[in-house]
Amino acid sequence: MSYEVVIFGIVFIVAVAVFGWSCYRRFRLVALGKPENRFGNVGRRIGGMLIYP
């Protein structure tokens, strides 16, 4: 194996790890939000979308 391949592999692994860590942090932030029932008053919500002022 040449040094270029080894260096590329190390940089690639570090980049994937940083990307995964960043995704994990953002998912944790989104998961803090309170769950909301979006299926309540479906007809009213669709009507509100169609009659947008």
Domain ranges in the chain are 3-50
pLDDT digits (tens, 9 = 90+) for 3-46: 999 999 999 999 999 999 999 999 999 999 888 888 888 888 88
pTM: 0.59
Q: Tell me how far apart the alpha carbons of residues 14 and 42 are, in angstroms, rounded to a whole number.
A: 46
Residue 41's pLDDT is: 87
**Torsion angle defined by CA atoms of residues 23, 28, 33 and 39, in that order, rounded to the nearest 10 degrees:** 60
Residue 34's pLDDT is: 82
pLDDT higher than 90, residue 52: no
Residue 53's pLDDT is: 67
